[in-house]
Amino acid sequence: MLHNVYLKSLRDSKKSIIYYSIGTIALGLYVTLFYPTIRDSTGLTDFLEQLPEAMLAFIGDADTYTTPEGFLNAEVFGFMGPMIFGVFAIIAGAGTIAGEEESHSLDQLLANPVSRKQVLLQKAGALLTGLFALSIALWIGIIGGSKIAGFGLSLIGTTQAIFSLYVLGITLGLIALAIGASTGKKSLAGGFAASVAIIGFLLDTFLSVVDALDPLRFISVFYYFNGNDVIINGINPVHCITMVCTAAIALVIAIWQFEKRDLAN
């Protein structure tokens, strides 16, 4: 058994990180290479402006959709990017402690001269590293695809949007980790974090359509992730700090609960 839990965790998740990274590169390439078709479509903006508000809630602003940043905001950062990062983070976070506990391998790990706190922190570090690899892969796919397709794209805006996506993944992953470390139940951890993501996505999507939902926007993690359309308008420091604080609180809860809980045999 490796004494360096961080490296062991990265080794165990190596294939997953590689496959997800390939997928994010493919997503970036596909969307950017497809963009010129949207850009050159005549009358598309007029058509979008005639769509019902409910449909525009999924597409985004009709005036910016045909711009590179607006198209990426809708197609990458509006749904596919959060889905890929969210699924990776939730699966990894739920399996970090609870998964090993259910498979009865956690007791072997803790038999080594390393504290519970260090085990959890190093596993959380591996989760953050995996998400960072996905972020780099998405950046390469988007920037590389834009160069191949021959259109300009804001490097600062793109980097900020990917960073915000990275923080979203961290938040969801550490929420799953906190529930798993507190209960030892992988399915509960994954289900709870997935519910946070799905409810947050639905609330953020329909905020512009259903006025009654407006007061609830502050409980949506997606509101803090991209409510400001980061790739277009830049990152909102308050929103970013809110997600970071949420992730930090989840990590503190995970450590506290994991250190005091009797583990399943």
Amino acid at 185: K
Q: What secondary structure, in 3-state letters, does 178-197 show?
A: HHHHHHCCHHHHHHHHHHHH
Q: Average of pLDDT values for 24-51? A: 81
| pLDDT, tens digit, 9 for 90 and up, residues 201-260 | 988 877 766 767 777 788 899 999 998 899 999 999 999 999 999 999 999 999 999 998
pLDDT band at 1 (very low <50, low <70, confident <90, very high): very low
Q: Average of pLDDT values for 25-53? A: 79
CA contacts within 13 A on the Cβ side of 189: 32
Residues 209 and 20: their CA atoms lie apart, in Å, by 33
**Total-model pTM:** 0.92
Helix axes 186-206, 81-94, angle to 10 degrees: 160
Res 204: pLDDT? 82
63: left (phi over 0), alpha (psi -120 to 50) or beta: alpha
Res 58: pLDDT? 60
Range with lowest mean pLDDT among 54-68, 145-159, 193-207, 231-245 = 54-68
Q: Average of pLDDT values for 112-119? A: 88
pLDDT band at 65 (very low <50, low <70, confident <90, very high): confident
88: left (phi over 0), alpha (psi -120 to 50) or beta: alpha
Res 24: pLDDT? 97
Residues 220, 239 contacting (CB under 8 angstroms): no
